[in-house]
């Protein structure tokens, strides 16, 4: 991790610290060169040290965090001045209330869906749509907030968006069809009962398909912000999907079939993807993915695989693409995409969003 030249640490609170996304946030923030975890919050699991509330990941955490007493969101609201930024990883229904209240005063970096579809809230994936942060200026003006909500994408859409962005921008997209195979950690902790998922596939995830179809267009949209007013231009490709829960612990795999508008070849698409650097290139952000995308060659047709690609925390920010081939449809291609739902798709992705907003001057510590 890179240092931030000795400036005071940015004080953070994490809400939802005992959940799947929240644990990943805590790991990514503990020992972070810019941020310092100041408080941890929950609803049912409170008034105990963090180490008494989580069973896994303890070996990855500092003593200070393990001994930090988890408290309620009320407690955070009563001490809001001692915090510079809030990370929120709570269910959407509660996020709708809690995040809005907190954003009146402080930046809220959210993994939840509650605000994603509001036109003044970016679904920030800085590598792909780094300029969307400008929607925050509209948000602050319209809502009269000192802080703001910055949402991250749904954990299935995130890998799809990274993989499609370079293709969409160079060749255009006419259609996109996908089938997801989503890990159980995407359903939170303790998640799907073992008897329902072991040796099984559940061909339904509530509201997931809608989220993917709406979010991919907002993430790939262009935004113009003038006089604190945001105007979005959404892509017009046709998209549909089918989402499945599979007995994989971490990592969402997607089979995608797409048709480009400009005719192209597998070789040209691979070169375009390999050249893609994105908005965060050269910014020296600690959680910037390196590489942004890893493309497997045709001599490894059995990759990517969740069990093989996520062998170190660093690879959790990379999007993996394999099996890129033409199809029998006009200008048609297919590929397999794998991304880490907890790293890029939740905690570490949210931390990258915050790092990017520090870089843009929207988050800062107190001197």
Ligand X SMILES: NC(=O)c1ccc[n+]([C@@H]2O[C@H](COP(=O)([O-])OP(=O)(O)OC[C@H]3O[C@@H](n4cnc5c(N)ncnc54)[C@H](OP(=O)(O)O)[C@@H]3O)[C@@H](O)[C@H]2O)c1
Task: Catalogue the active-site residues.
Answer: 155, 252
Phi, psi (5° rounding) for residue 175? -140, 150
CB of 224 to ligand X, least distance (A): 28
CB of 14 to ligand X, least distance (A): 9
Among 345, 356, 358, 363, binds ligand X (CB under 6 A): 345
Among 186, 251, 304, 322, binds ligand X (CB under 6 A): 186
The site for ligand X, by CB under 6 A, has a size of 32
CB of 295 to ligand X, least distance (A): 24
Write the burial class of residue 190 (CB in 10 Å: 0-12 exposed, 13-18 middle, 19+ buried). exposed
Establish if 332 lies at the interface with ligand X (CB under 6 A): no
For residues 73 and 269, which CB has a smaller minimum distance to ligand X in the complex? 73
Establish if 341 lies at the interface with ligand X (CB under 6 A): yes
Site for ligand X in 1-40 (CB under 6 A): 15-22
Spatial separation of the C-alpha atoms in residues 160 and 167, rounded to whole Å: 11
Can you point out the beta strands (E) in the chain? 10-15, 35-41, 70-71, 85-88, 107-110, 148-151, 173-182, 222-226, 229-233, 238-245, 252-260, 293-295, 319-326, 332-339
CB of 41 to ligand X, least distance (A): 6
Site for ligand X in 295-324 (CB under 6 A): none
For residues 42 and 159, which CB has a smaller minimum distance to ligand X in the complex? 42
Among 42, 130, 251, 306, binds ligand X (CB under 6 A): 42
CB of 48 to ligand X, least distance (A): 10
Site for ligand X in 58-77 (CB under 6 A): 73
Among 66, 75, 92, 96, binds ligand X (CB under 6 A): 92
Beta bridge partners of 37: 12
Among 11, 94, 172, 313, binds ligand X (CB under 6 A): 94
Task: Spell out, one character per residue from 127 to 166, where the chain touches ligand X: x when CB under 6 A holds, - when not.
Answer: ----------------------------x-----------
Can you point out the beta strands (E) in 44-141? 70-71, 85-88, 107-110
Instruction: Of 238, 176, 180, 250, give the one whose Cα is nearest residue 209.
Output: 180
Write the burial class of residue 198 (CB in 10 Å: 0-12 exposed, 13-18 middle, 19+ buried). exposed
Q: Are 89 and 22 in contact (CB under 8 A)?
A: yes
**Interior/surface letters 259-298, b for 16+ CB within 10 angstroms, e for the rest:** bbeeebeeeebbeebeebebbbeeeebbbbbeebbbbbee
Establish if 235 lies at the interface with ligand X (CB under 6 A): no
Structure tokens, 269: 């698409």
Establish if 100 lies at the interface with ligand X (CB under 6 A): no
Establish if 44 lies at the interface with ligand X (CB under 6 A): yes
Name, in order, each residue with C-beta under 8 angstroms of 271's C-beta and a sequence gap of 6 or more: none
Provide the binding-site residues for ligand X, judged by CB under 6 A: 15-22, 41-45, 73, 89-92, 94-95, 111-113, 155, 185-186, 188-189, 341-342, 345-346
């Amino acid at each position: 991790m890179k240092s931030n030249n000795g400036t005071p640490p940015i004080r953070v609170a994490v809400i939802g610290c005992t959940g799947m996304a929240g644990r990943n946030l805590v790991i990514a923030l503990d020992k972070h060169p810019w941020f310092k975890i100041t408080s941890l919050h929950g609803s049912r699991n409170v008034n105990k040290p963090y180490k008494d509330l989580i069973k896994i990941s303890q070996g990855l955490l500092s003593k200070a965090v393990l001994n930090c007493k988890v408290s309620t969101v009320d407690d955070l609201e009563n001490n809001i001045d001692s915090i510079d930024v809030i990370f929120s990883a709570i269910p959407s229904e509660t996020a709708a209330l809690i995040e809005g209240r907190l954003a009146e005063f402080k930046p809220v970096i959210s993994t939840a869906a509650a605000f994603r579809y509001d036109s003044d809230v970016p679904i920030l994936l800085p590598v792909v749509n780094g300029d969307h942060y400008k929607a925050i200026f509209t948000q602050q003006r319209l809502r009269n907030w000192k802080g703001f909500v910055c949402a991250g994408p749904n954990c299935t859409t995130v890998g799809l968006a990274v993989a499609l962005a370079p293709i969409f921008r160079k060749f255009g997209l006419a259609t996109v069809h996908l089938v997801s195979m989503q890990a159980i950690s995407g359903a939170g902790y303790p998640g799907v009962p073992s008897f329902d998922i072991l040796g099984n596939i559940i061909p339904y995830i509530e509201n997931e398909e809608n989220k993917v179809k709406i979010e991919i267009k907002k993430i790939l949209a262009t935004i113009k912000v003038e006089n604190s007013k945001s105007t979005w231009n959404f892509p017009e490709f046709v998209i549909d999907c089918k989402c499945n829960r599979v007995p994989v612990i971490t990592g969402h795999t997607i089979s995608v079939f797409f048709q480009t508008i400009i005719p192209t070849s597998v070789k040209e698409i691979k070169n375009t993807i390999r050249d893609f650097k994105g908005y965060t290139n050269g910014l020296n952000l600690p959680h910037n993915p390196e590489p942004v995308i890893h493309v497997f060659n045709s001599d490894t047709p059995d990759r990517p695989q969740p069990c093989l690609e996520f062998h170190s925390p660093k690879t959790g920010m990379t999007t993996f693409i394999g099996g890129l081939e033409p199809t029998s449809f006009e200008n048609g291609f297919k590929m397999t995409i794998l991304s880490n739902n907890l790293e890029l798709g939740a905690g570490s992705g949210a931390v990258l969003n915050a790092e990017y907003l520090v870089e843009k001057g929207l988050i800062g510590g107190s001197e």
